[in-house]
Structure 1
Amino acid sequence: MCQPEPALPPLPAALRAHLRDDAARYRDDAAGTPGAAPRGVLAPRSAEEAAEILCLLQEAGLAAVVQGGRTGLSGGARVQPGELVLSTERLTAPPRIDAVAGTMTVGAGVVLEAAQQAARAAGLYLAADLGARGSATLGGMAATNAGGPLALRYGTFRQQVLGVEGVLPDGTIVRRLGGLYKDNSGLDLSQYLVGSEGILGLVTRLVLRLHPAPAARRVAVCALDGAAEALALLPALRAGLGPDLQACELMIDPLLAETCAARGLRSPFAEPAPAVLLLEVAGTDPEACGARLEAVLETALEAGRIRDAVLSASEADCLRLWGLREGCSQFLFQNVGPITSLDLSLPLAAIPAFLAEAEGLCAGRARPYVFGHLGDGNLHYVLACPPDAAPTDEIFALTARHGGAITAEHGIGADKLRWLPLCRDAAEIAAMARLKRAVDPGWILNPGRILPRPFPQTPEARP
């Protein structure tokens, strides 16, 4: 006989005073799986208000899931039964730029595109970009250590964070907003929160590193014979373009051809290519930047390393060529039926063998579409099939055998929790649980993300 679900603790009156209406729209994230109806939505305006809310949650034993722009693909922001939502949507302190230091202090609920525009208006550059720039929030990007195409040159979002104001699940406020480039005075608690997917605390404000704004950029798309040829080209690209190379995006046939056909985009090549590489260079000297790219591609063409290449001649061309790459994501989510989106990180040298073996695993079961950030080994391996029919176990196990990780930039969340042991050993997972328990004794913030809910205590871990 099924046991009835235990009754949920009542909401304290002090907590009800913080609740917002219209809770239903907060159920899920971009992964698409429906979430439960939240018990309510809490949206603090400051770190102090967030601390008060978290203390009330701990006292009442109530669980909450942190939400930013809900653009993640691992179920990290999806509401689980009985949870409240703790939203950053009111943490919108506008960007404050220190042009001398090259920093931006900004609220966690501000969307990436607004921060990019603020940096641009000051003649500076925020070195982070995503297709979801209009809805992804900076706090969410910090919590998931977001990647994207610019990670090749500038690193992931972690490298853009100089300081954080955050609230631990027990209500402790951690405030490191000095923006110092060098500070070895103890543990860096800011970086402790970056990449923690909300299980260790709520980010409320950030200090971000800014860079000199590039004077110009050039974009090229290259037709190649396959992923192995694209990887073989990388050393020449790095040697010839140096730090000006800031994006190196791979699209495997038939993804680009089908994207162009379905979305009415103009294909850059007369004949489909087995693989297409999109390159972006940017620098302070427009003429030198473009000349280096042209020289590298001319040499590659003469050596037979690439079949063909198309270069931008204007900013409009840059946008059009990037539209091909971003159109691939739109095509998969809007024009293909049920999909299972896997976000893999692989050693560069292992990519060709992985692709060949993974195609064999998918044969007769799912049609794979492959694209990603080649320069840093991040492949988006998207299967045209429902999640319950996808060979996810086999693909993740293959990734691990090649020395990779089952997520490169979307995190573990709730959806990939059971596969975490493929890329983290038991000692690491237990250490994560001890950290979680130390700052969240009630296990109330983002439970069931990264770690099981509740994580079993070993005798050694008990006080």
Structure 2
Amino acid sequence: MPDTLAETTPDPLYAALLDTGLDLGLVTDPETAARFATDASRRVVAVPELVVRPADTSGVAAVLHLCHQADRRVVVQGGLTGLSGGARVNPGEVVLSLERMAHVGPVDDLAAQIEVGAGAPLQKVQEAAAQAGMIVGVDLGARGSATIGGMIATNAGGIRVLRYGMMRAQVAGIEAVLADGTIVSAMKGLDKDNAGVDLRQLFIGSEGTLGVVTRALLRLHPAPTLEVTALCAVDSVDKAQALLRHLRARLGPLLSAYEGIWPEVYEGACAMSCDPPLPTGAGLYVLAEIQGMREILQDDAFEAALIEAYEAGLCRDVVVSQSAREHDRFWALREACVEYTFSLGQLVPHDLSLPARALPAFLTEARARLSAIDPEARPYIYGHLGDGNLHYIVKTQARAEVSAALNGLAARMGGSITAEHGVGQDKAPYLSLVRSAEERQLMTRLKAALDPTGVLNPGRLLG
């Protein structure tokens, strides 16, 4: 039913959407619309005047067709867990929320695939996979609210990229709607199909600027029957990287995660989640995990490799999970890193990716630059050490100067300004640091070809 605001403030687009007769979940009430104003970056610029929440792909196609005709800008939203301002609303933008498209289909255990709607939360997909004895390769702390469409659009990473790869590696099929309402379906799910360009790849990581992902086929993996974690205290990043080389050489693909937690974050996360499993005071804490099939593994292979590392001086202390409860406790500590840093107030987050060999030098120079810009600045660091992704979060009053310095330093060392959270609006000014003029020109040409009027996610990614 139309609400009071819609009746008193006629909007031709609103009327056209009503005339479709489709279930579009329209919202115009400011109080209700307020929850769609921004993402996890928490910055609010404008409350949307119109929110559209279609129930299916045909609804998305109808909405985009009408917005295209009316030249109305659209911001696409999933679970609102992003940190780069990609889903943050600007004045005049229509919100296209996919939250109602949360279908999770049955698992195809022969193909090891599952069909899901773009609005399906990762946790719901994980639960469906678990019932069939399988797992989704990508996992992250926001699993309860992060949606599959958003994860595909930003090519999400998470904690097990070391073993399973980014979201790109999990996608076997995609259905997407272009800016003019055209539906493009590439949902065969074939592992081998060389019949022309792989159109799925156009939409993965494009942050909703080329089309809106509405459905996906995800690849699944056999659920491990053995999961063991170890928390290691090490003296330095160099020692942590030497430990990584050792464990990879000994355990190969069994090594599923390799996380780093710096001392300031370790102490704070322990205070929020549990007593410290290892004493404070180390230079760095590493959470390593193996996954595999107990039936074909030696249960003590991980422990043996860790003992060798300890005897070689690669780590000063180790504690290994002895039960599923301890395994979960260690991961709760890692996830508490996010909660702890968020609790500190308005910090300046950075999601940086560094070549492994550049990581120690980056950390040294970054601290020196922070001190020069703001002597009171304090970094809080944790992240996916195994793949070079640092969540480098800074408490400072010099927000712009610090971000420019850290992003510039990462770029000069061959890294990236965004490892897994996307460019969005907040990092668009830094894109030229990590993408050449030729690359940016090609991105612009693709955008112009698929969205000539610039309806989809304007100002995101390309700025």
Pick one of 372, 376, 392 that aligns with 1:381.
Answer: 392
Distance 1:390 1:319, change over 3 A: farther
Divergent runs of 4+, >4 A: none
CA 1:389–1:422 in 2, change beyond 3 Å: closer, same or farther? closer
Matched, 1:260 2:270: yes
Alignment match, 2:6: none
Which amino acid counterpart does residue 199 of structure 2 have in structure 1? L
Match of 2:204 among 182, 191, 194: 194
Q: What is the one-letter code of the residue matched to 1:330?
A: E
What letter is aligned with 1:165? E
The one of 125, 140, 146 aligned to 2:156: 146
In structure 1, distance between residues paired with 2:437 and 2:91: 28
Q: Determine the structure 1 residue equivalent to 2:194.
A: 184
Structure 2 counterpart of 1:342, which letter? Answer: H
Q: For the Cα contact (< 8 Å) 1:23–1:41, is it kept in 2?
A: yes
Out of 201, 212, 218, which is 1:208 matched to?
Answer: 218
- Match status 1:315 vs 2:317: no
How many Å apart are 1:401 and its aligned residue?
A: 1.0
| Residue 156, structure 1, aligned to residue 166, structure 2 | yes
* Aligned match for 1:371, one of 362, 368, 382: 382
Match 2:27 to one of 9, 20, 28: 20
Residue 250 of structure 1 contacts residue 373 of structure 1 at CA under 8 Å; is this kept in 2? yes
* Structure 1 residue 86 corresponds to structure 2 residue 96: yes
Question: 1:3 corresponds to which residue?
Answer: none
Question: How much does 1:109 deviate?
Answer: 0.6
Q: Percent identity?
A: 49
- Who is 2:5 aligned against? none
So what's the TM-score if we normalise by structure 2?
0.93
Q: Distance in 2 between matches of 1:320 and 1:260?
A: 11
2:178 and 2:199 map into 1 onto residues whose CA distance is 11
Does structure 1 retain, via aligned residues, the 8 Å contact 2:273–2:336? no
- Find 1:416's aligned residue among 408, 427, 430: 427
Cα shift at 1:52: 1.3
CA distance in 1, matches of 2:398, 2:175: 37
2: CA distance between counterparts of 1:136 and 1:200? 20
Correspondence 1:158-177 to 2 at 5 A: 158-177=168-187
Q: Please tell me whether residue 427 in structure 1 is matched to residue 438 in structure 2.
A: yes
Give the superposition deviation at 1:387: 6.7
Deviation track 1:149-198 (CA, whole Å, cap 9, x = no partner) reads: 11110000000000001101121111111111111111111121111000
User: Which 5+ residue runs of structure 2 have no aligned equivalent?
Assistant: 1-9
Quote the offset at 1:10 in angstroms.
4.8
Deviation at 1:291, TM superposition (A): 1.2
- The superposition leaves residues 334-357 of structure 1 with CA deviations (integer Å, 9 ceiling, x where unpaired) of 2x1321110000000100000000
Q: Does the C-alpha gap of structure 1 residues 426 and 9 become closer, same or farther in structure 2, counting only changes over 3 Å?
A: farther
- Is the aligned partner of 1:339 residue 2:341? no
Corresponding residue for 2:309?
300
- Look up the match of 2:361: 353
CA drift of 1:362 comes to 1.2
The corresponding residue for 1:114 is 124
How many angstroms apart in 1 are the aligned matches of 2:323 and 2:430?
45
2-side partners of 1:386 and 1:25: how far apart? 28
Report whether the alignment pairs 1:269 with 2:269: no
CA contact (8 A) 1:9 1:60 kept: no
- Residues 396-417 of structure 1, C-alpha deviations (whole Å, 9 max, x = no match): 1110110000000001000011
For 1:385 and 1:297, how far apart are their aligned partners in 2?
A: 38
* CA displacement at 1:437 relative to structure 2: 1.1
Is the contact made by 1:340 and 1:390 (CA closer than 8 Å) also made in structure 2? Answer: no
**Is it true that 1:220 corresponds to 2:222 in the alignment?**
no
Query: In 2, distance between residues paired with 1:265 and 1:167?
Result: 46
Instruction: Tell me the CA shift for residue 11 of structure 1.
Output: 2.6
Secondary structure at the counterpart of residue 13 of structure 2: coil
Q: Is the 8 A contact 2:123 2:143 kept in 1?
A: yes
Which is further off, 65-74 or 32-41?
32-41
Cα offsets for 1:270-314 (capped at 9, x unmatched): 342110100010101268354111011000111111100000000
- Structure 1 residues 349 and 171, CA, compared in 2 at 3 Å: closer, same or farther? same
Q: Distance in 2 between matches of 1:387 and 1:360?
A: 15
Q: How do 1:216-255 and structure 2 match up within 5 A?
A: 216-255=226-265
Task: State how far apart, in whole Å, the 1-side matches of 2:416 and 2:392 are.
Answer: 13
Judge conservation of contact 1:197–1:411 (CA < 8 Å) in 2.
yes
Contact 1:217–1:289 (8 Å) recurs in 2 = no
Select 2:146's aligned residue among 113, 136, 140.
136
**TM-score scaled to structure 1, two decimals?**
0.93
Tell me: CA distance 1:367–1:129, structure 2 relative to 1, closer, same or farther (3 Å): same
Kept after mapping to 2: 8 A contact 1:383/1:390? no
SS in 2 for 1:66: strand
After superposition, the CA RMSD in angstroms is 1.6
Code of the residue aligned with 2:260 in structure 1: it is L
Work out whether residues 9 and 62 of structure 1, in 8 Å CA contact, stay in contact via their aligned partners in 2.
no
Superposed displacement of residue 12, structure 1: 5.3
Instruction: Decide whether the 8 Å contact of 2:173 with 2:217 is kept in 1.
Output: yes
Q: In the alignment, residue 410 of structure 2 is paired with which amino acid?
A: T
Amino acid at match of 2:101: L
Which deviates further from its counterpart, 285-294 or 397-406? 285-294
* Secondary structure of the corresponding residue to residue 35 of structure 2: helix
Structure 2 equivalent of residue 5 of structure 1: none
2:410 to 371, 383, 399: 399
Alignment partners' CA distance in 1, 2:337 and 2:72: 41
Q: Would the alpha carbon gap of residues 292 and 387 (structure 1) be closer, same or farther in structure 2, given more than 3 Å must change?
A: farther
Provide the aligned length of Structure 1 versus Structure 2.
443
